[in-house]
Structure 1
Amino acid sequence: MRTRHFHFLLALVFAALSLVINRPNALTVTLMVGMTLLSLTLGFGKKLRLFWTLCLPFVLYLQVGHGHLEKQALRPASQGQERLLVHADQLKIAEDGRIRGQGKTARGEKLLFSYAAKDQADVDRWAQLSGTYWLFGQADKTPIMGPTNDYQFDFRAYWQSQKVTHTLCFKEVAIQPADAQNPWQALLFACHRAHAAAERWTDRLPNPLRDYALSLILASKGSQLYDNNPMIAELGLIHLFALSGLHVAFLTRFLREGFLLARISREVGDGLLAFFLPLFFLFTGLPAVLFRAMLSGEMKLFGRNFRLRIDPIKSWSWSLIGSLIVYPQLLLTMGGQLSFALTLAVIISQGSNIWQRGLFLSLVTFPFILATQYSWNLWQTLANILAVPVFTVVVLPVTLVGYFACWIPGVCPITNTIIQLFDKAVALAGALPGKIVIGALSWPVLVLLFLLPFFALGAKKSSKKLAIATWLFLLLGNSAFVHWPKQGEWTTFDIGQGDAAVLIEPRHKTITMIDTGGKVQFGPRPHYSTGRPTDTRPKVVQNKALKQQEGLARSVIVPYLHAKGIAHINTLALSHQDQDHIGDSRVILQNFKVDQLVIPAGMRSLPAFQRKIQPYLQKTKVIEATDQTKVPNCPLQILYPFAAGLAGNDDSLAWGGRLGGQTIYTAGDLDQSGETKILTKYPEFVPDIVKFGHHGSKTATDPKVFAQWQPTIGLISAGRNSRYGHPHQEVLDVAKEEKMIVYNTQSQGMLRYVYQEKHGHFEVSYHDPAGPKRTN
């Protein structure tokens, strides 16, 4: 028991050290202090000295690695000839001809890369690759950009945890086969070649069996499993597919049974398994989350053959220590966190029945899912209880049989039907009413929500009741603060070339959203054959087509509003019919209950509205408005248009209102003529904060109007490297003439005006030292 305590504490301190050195913040510093205090339970003798003697080399190792990575991340953007070593199974070829992947330079630096194929022949050149190659060509090398909106997924931090800090954009590429320079490299190249061939083997499988095989057996980057069934993640089942190592344990058992049938002795079989596990790890591309499963499997084999009883907690502890030595930033990823949290939970709950274990695992995953999705599906607990045995007994073996025996007549249809039933059951469970938007809870609460189930599991009845009551109190109490904030805000999202803003009144009295952004397509979208099968299921094809038309609402607006505890929007206003203002309306209407949709009078009969918005309205009331329309339950007043029109730029809805002691004006793409009409009709309206019309185009921002208004703050919502050159210099000259403070999403990301009663201030989410990126 004492030695187990020592190993367990050592693993926890190693984990805390890796977190605090690689990402120092309040949470990681607190964890480090807590683990340091816990280490004192070893006493003040030899054990404690040995403990920290083991930790010291790890600290130095982490510091050196982190310093090197930080230095690498600070390298500025550059252009020039680049040479990159790439494996064929690390490539993804999209139907629009965009090739993306990951590779290494001759110096060993990992880089992401992209390349736009010129034609079908160019796509075919990439599709035929099957081994390891050098890519040569002129490329732009840029640092991976971090999030520019609050609660947006941090791709820079994620890739930095994989030791990747930059990306290459090739303009032209020459491809040359790479030769191995040593035996280790030869083995690695062979594994990647075999993995690429194994992925090709799945081409003969129907979907969803193909996606399940790619995820469960091959850990392939080419799987579309989570895109085709997002409910897997929402129901907290993602750990079954890629994180917990269940499929590795199953494959090990499968091989062991095969050895017994072949009358291979246990010792020889275990020797083959000891060789198979690291080979499988190499074969799947060295994924960090599988290293734990491989290490744990090797320790079990070692203990069994040398008659050593390795305690499960010790095995877990040294799996964590070994994983952190090889992958120091593993616990910075949700995959690494879930993998070790769930395996520890499985070990601790071994004496529980299936219902208790399912509930326990669901509670353990709860804070991790809440920290990223800000919502909880009430069906998740039941899904975990039922899915784990079904997954182990049915899904894994059926996928394995379907993959390896697909050449036998009848096997593919039968196995695919079984997988399809499971896939549909997950999708159906996720679609049932029961999703609750909780919001972004504070990190101390999330940590306690994670720890309390572990405490309750082994506690006495009275202590268990106290733990449950504390868990509920923390959840409901913190959620109440999120749902009823005392401050209000007017937030302009950074969604590229487009407009999207939300007005949240204090205590969430009303939620008003103005425009949704949208993906603007310039010219016809190319379509090429990639040489791989496409999913022909009607719903999948439809969803894929719709996603290709989406802008950033799903990755920017939805998580932000959910983090704020918002599931209900009182008013969604669309300023006019342009794609960059209304293109993502479908995403908003499908993810939130919307009471009323306000559009400029005359827009409802237009084809854009009928095609992009009408099919998704459900019970939302549509209001076609002019300046005479009084919108109920909305704190803003409509200033324009004065009459029905065709919902063009000159018919854009203009809004004004008083927030936090400041008068605010926003008007979509309204031109200078419309601004003049508003000034003439409403001479008493004098805004303090103005969103420059048409993304800072010179077609708006009339100097004469602004000379009358004399606003103090201007907001620009425009895309980086805008092909239109937004904001135009003429607009910036007007701002300079009026001595305005200008906030720009191009250089400052999300812009938030936070207010309470008659006072407010601005907050930005990003700072680009180079300033706005503009083209002429």
Structure 2
Amino acid sequence: MTRTTAIMAAPALLAGVLLVQWLPQLPPSWCLGLLLLMAGGLAWRYPRWRWLAWLLAGIAWAAWRGGLAMEARLPRALEGRDLAVIGTIAELPLAQPDASRFTLQVERATLDGQPVALRGRVTVAWYEDAPPLQPCSRWRLSLRLKRPRGLLDPGGADSERSALERGIVATGYVRDDPDNAPLAGARWCVDGVRDAVARGIAARVRDRHDAALLQAFTVGDTRGLRQRDWAVARANGVSHLIAISGFHVGVAAVFGVGLAWLVYALWPRLGLRLPRPQAQAAAALLVAALYSALAGFGLPTVRTLLMIAVVTLARCSRRGASGAHSLALALIAILLADPLAVLAAGFWLSFVGVAFLMLCLQSRGRGLRAFLHELSAGQLLMTVALLPLTLWFFGQASLVGALSNLVAVPLVSFVIVPCALSGMLLLGLCPPLAAPVLWLAARIAHAQWWLLEQMAGWPGAQWYLPAVQAHALLLAVLGALWLFLPRGVPLRWLGLLLFLPLLWPPNPSPPEGAFKVWVLDVGQGQSVLLRTRSHLLVYDAGARYPSGFDLGEAVVLPSIHALGLDRVDMLMVSHGDNDHAGGAEAVAKAFPRASRYAGEPSRLQVPMQQCVAGQAWQWDGVRFRVLNPVPGAGDRDNDSSCVLLVEGGGGRLLLTGDISAAVEPQVAAALGPGPPTVLLVPHHGSGTSSGAAFIAAVQPRLALVSAGWRNRFGHPRAQVLARYADAQVPVFDTARQGAMALDFSADAPPRREPGWRQRQARYWRE
């Protein structure tokens, strides 16, 4: 493909693929066939419109592949059924305190002895005495599965999109079954080599944390890293190094070139049979491919490998290939191989970053001074250019990232990784030399990480902004391009103005006497954010699990930041159950100045004051009153929940925790008359709550349920929903709506806004 054709086709194909990802539903097959016919006709008859042909082809190709991926998901009729599955463990299994988690490539699945339509990759948790699991091993397992479904919240990760991009067709867990057993026929695979390298490093590096860093840097094995390590990496903007960046692959290619040069220096007569430039290009591609395989073929490594392949092909065919041409061909290759790659943040960070470097970074010649200039200027360019995308995908950025990468990138790529891989090679060639080389790599990694930990505490290391709007993203990317245009272009500083919609987005506060509420989607748990004009209250914070996954950190805090809220004035935890209180510690740590109240403070990990009926205060014209527990009631478990009534000018909200029918009469009596009420249904819709008398006394205009999808308790119970239906009260739940927002005006009834699952409708959403 010629340079002009590739540079024209690549953005058109990308635009077509990207358009599909915004669709709430995929078009029918006949429509895709029509688009392909139109594309073929335009390409044949109207050469000037070939860009449109590529655009239409991109739409048809992406929609067809997306449809295949959705059809491959577990049939709904099989959700919650026990399936007998035979498969091979892919990737690297992770052993955690509560379970072993792994990805299984399904070969065959049966239900009651009959084959079922299930092929692809499933993510599985094995609880209760899971045996040691090795990559590439084959197993026969009894699995209970469901279709990929995740939480949907402001600023939260979209696990359903991630599942589609990764080819995950189901999630579930291993059932206790005597037939669960390993099978013969385990095959060699790249992940087995990665695991062997990781175990070799662990066996020869004494410090476990240093070994974990080397494993992450060399083969992308992040199983030994702690949550603290990821926080440090995010604060310094070096997560790409942990995940194996494309720069690593480029260094491997340079190593291949040097290796070929050494061979020709030792045996110069080889040049008579094979020219050295072609041999060096082939060696670069071979070494880069081997290292990409060792790193698990992540998207940044594949992108770099494709670019190296383009250059190698051009060199071997004695043709030139510019950087833009190579980048365009790599983009076309990835989109044709996997159009769903555009759903991954790494795709955009990789290609946009390389494109900016090609367009904006001017060469200053050769030599050490030129190299240092390009290295420092490149890090500054990447930090600013990728800032909009980083905020779009992750909701946070690091203002110290340019300096951190200036130190970390050359040190990891040119020193730590080569030393670690050399040490592993020496294990087979000269074992006595392996230990000192690995020791050196570990000490350098240790020193570097100590420096990054210090920098993670600098001001601006973790910088949050409200959720980025699409128009602000586009303007900021254009602003970065304008800002870094070559010298001589006038008024480059005006590019900064295009960052203003990104850096200062509109974020209006509720007026006096009004408030806004978000019932977050935390699965089988509860968390509510309530904002007045100048105050924020967090009521419950979701669960924290033995694996270390903390919904306070993963959902509540990102939601606060995405909504443009920078301070918490009060944290109230209804009672001590994990699904309400587990995430409270993360919230309290992030906002240490917030007041803290709880129904069962003795059960929480952080100091809290006891909430008691009769406590009351006022914020910005909005009145708050605690209705439960009554003084001297003692420890009553769920019935010790803090019940909070919030009343504005046009409506009121009743937050009930997990109270049961035993205390509902007392709460209803303390409620009293008032404006229209929105009720957070007690105990997630349990059968022990929401008595008919309570519903009649409260007379809610709306009822909201916070519950997990297909949760094991069956919440909300059918009989409870029937009681609300009899009272003509509409019920909405987070399992079907995602996070829900309500607007309590100062002079109008409460208004419910569309849930996050509806306002961000995409074809991959359940």
Task: Give TM-score scaled by structure 2 length.
Answer: 0.81
CA contact (8 A) 2:14 2:55 kept: no
Cα-to-partner distance string for 1:148-170 (whole Å, 9 max, x where unaligned): 43432111111212333323544
Structure 1 counterpart of 2:529, from 502, 507, 528: 502
CA contact (8 A) 2:127 2:174 kept: no
- 1:85 deviates by 3.7
SS of structure 2 residue aligned to 1:149: coil
- 1:751 deviates by 2.8
- Tell me the equivalent position of 1:176: 183
Q: Distance in 1 between matches of 2:84 and 2:331?
A: 37
Q: After superposition, where does 1:553-632 map in structure 2 within 5 Å?
A: 553-592=552-591, 594-600=593-599, 606=602, 608-609=603-604, 612-614=605-607, 624-631=610-617
Q: After the TM superposition, which of the residue ranges 428-437 and 443-452 deviates more from structure 2? A: 428-437
- Tell me the equivalent position of 1:302: 313
Are the structure 2 counterparts of residues 475 and 279 from structure 1 closer, same or farther at C-alpha, using a change threshold of 3 Å? Answer: closer
Q: Distance in 2 between matches of 1:12 and 1:692?
A: 50
Structure 2 counterpart of 1:316, from 321, 327, 331: 327
Q: Which amino acid aligns with 1:320?
A: L
Cα-to-partner distance string for 1:118-148 (whole Å, 9 max, x where unaligned): 53xx514x3xx46453x33443342111434
- Tell me the equivalent position of 1:151: 155
Q: Which amino acid aligns with 1:314?
A: H
Q: Which amino acid aligns with 1:764?
A: G
Q: Distance in 2 between matches of 1:69 and 1:335?
A: 20
Q: Distance in 2 between matches of 1:141 and 1:578?
A: 27
Q: Distance in 2 between matches of 1:50 and 1:371?
A: 32
Q: Which amino acid aligns with 1:429?
A: M
Q: Distance in 1 between matches of 2:705 and 2:58?
A: 48
- 1:730 deviates by 5.4
**Stretches of 4+ aligned residues off by more than 6 angstroms:** 43-46
Q: Which amino acid aligns with 1:91?
A: P
SS of structure 2 residue aligned to 1:736: helix
Q: After the TM superposition, which of the residue ranges 711-720 and 483-492 deviates more from structure 2? A: 483-492
Q: Which amino acid aligns with 2:122?
A: L
Q: After superposition, where does 1:647-666 map in structure 2 within 5 Å?
A: 648=636, 649-659=638-648, 661-666=650-655
Matched, 1:123 2:126: no
CA contact (8 A) 1:152 1:559 kept: yes
- Tell me the equivalent position of 1:36: none
Q: Distance in 2 between matches of 1:80 and 1:515?
A: 34
Matched, 1:163 2:184: no
CA contact (8 A) 1:236 1:369 kept: no
Cα-to-partner distance string for 1:211-248 (whole Å, 9 max, x where unaligned): 34433332346463776332213332223343641111
- Tell me the equivalent position of 1:377: 398
Cα-to-partner distance string for 1:261-297 (whole Å, 9 max, x where unaligned): 4536635444344434434444544433322211212
Matched, 1:239 2:240: yes
- Tell me the equivalent position of 1:75: 75
Structure 2 counterpart of 1:511, from 515, 536, 555: 536
- Tell me the equivalent position of 1:637: 625
Cα-to-partner distance string for 1:28-57 (whole Å, 9 max, x where unaligned): xxxxxxxxxxxxxxx999762555566665
Are the structure 2 counterparts of residues 448 and 461 from structure 1 closer, same or farther at C-alpha, using a change threshold of 3 Å? Answer: same
CA contact (8 A) 1:244 1:338 kept: no
Matched, 1:218 2:219: yes
CA contact (8 A) 1:567 1:592 kept: no
Q: After superposition, where does 1:270-419 map in structure 2 within 5 Å?
A: 270-351=281-362, 353=373, 354-405=375-426, 407=431, 408=433, 409-419=435-445
Q: After the TM superposition, which of the residue ranges 639-648 and 656-665 deviates more from structure 2? A: 639-648
- Tell me the equivalent position of 1:105: 107
- Tell me the equivalent position of 2:231: 230
- Tell me the equivalent position of 1:539: none
Structure 2 counterpart of 1:765, from 741, 745, 756: 756
SS of structure 1 residue aligned to 2:170: strand
Are the structure 2 counterparts of residues 484 and 4 from structure 1 closer, same or farther at C-alpha, using a change threshold of 3 Å? Answer: farther
Q: After superposition, where does 1:715-726 map in structure 2 within 5 Å?
A: 715-726=704-715
Matched, 1:442 2:469: yes
CA contact (8 A) 1:599 1:623 kept: yes
Q: After superposition, where does 1:521-536 map in structure 2 within 5 Å?
A: none
Q: Distance in 2 between matches of 1:392 and 1:647?
A: 58
Q: Distance in 1 between matches of 2:124 and 2:550?
A: 20
Q: After superposition, where does 1:240-255 map in structure 2 within 5 Å?
A: 240-242=241-243, 244-255=245-256
- Tell me the equivalent position of 2:111: none
Structure 2 counterpart of 1:93, from 74, 92, 95: 95
CA contact (8 A) 1:362 1:384 kept: no
Q: Which amino acid aligns with 1:382?
A: L
Matched, 1:492 2:496: no
Unmatched tracts of structure 1, length 5 or more: 27-42, 181-188, 521-546, 615-621, 768-776
Q: Percent identity?
A: 18
Are the structure 2 counterparts of residues 638 and 56 from structure 1 closer, same or farther at C-alpha, using a change threshold of 3 Å? Answer: closer
SS of structure 2 residue aligned to 1:112: strand
Q: Distance in 2 between matches of 1:191 and 1:153?
A: 29
Are the structure 2 counterparts of residues 681 and 343 from structure 1 closer, same or farther at C-alpha, using a change threshold of 3 Å? Answer: closer
- 1:74 deviates by 7.8
Task: Give TM-score scaled by structure 1 length.
Answer: 0.80
CA contact (8 A) 1:492 1:751 kept: yes
CA contact (8 A) 2:654 2:680 kept: yes
Q: Distance in 2 between matches of 1:512 and 1:289?
A: 41
Cα-to-partner distance string for 1:715-746 (whole Å, 9 max, x where unaligned): 22234444444434554454234322222234
Q: Distance in 1 between matches of 2:326 and 2:335?
A: 14
Q: Distance in 2 between matches of 1:105 and 1:343?
A: 39
Q: After the TM superposition, which of the residue ranges 661-670 and 383-392 deviates more from structure 2? A: 383-392
CA contact (8 A) 2:568 2:594 kept: yes
SS of structure 2 residue aligned to 1:631: strand
Q: Distance in 2 between matches of 1:159 and 1:88?
A: 15
Q: Distance in 1 between matches of 2:438 and 2:635?
A: 53
Cα-to-partner distance string for 1:465-516 (whole Å, 9 max, x where unaligned): 2112332x323442xx1364778421222223332211112xx421111111
Are the structure 2 counterparts of residues 516 and 477 from structure 1 closer, same or farther at C-alpha, using a change threshold of 3 Å? Answer: closer
- 1:102 deviates by 3.4
Are the structure 2 counterparts of residues 81 and 3 from structure 1 closer, same or farther at C-alpha, using a change threshold of 3 Å? Answer: closer
Q: Distance in 1 between matches of 2:143 and 2:336?
A: 34
Q: Which amino acid aligns with 1:627?
A: A
SS of structure 1 residue aligned to 2:104: strand
Give the CA RMSD over aligned residues.
3.5
SS of structure 2 residue aligned to 1:701: coil
Q: Which amino acid aligns with 1:631?
A: W
- Tell me the equivalent position of 2:39: none
- Tell me the equivalent position of 2:31: none
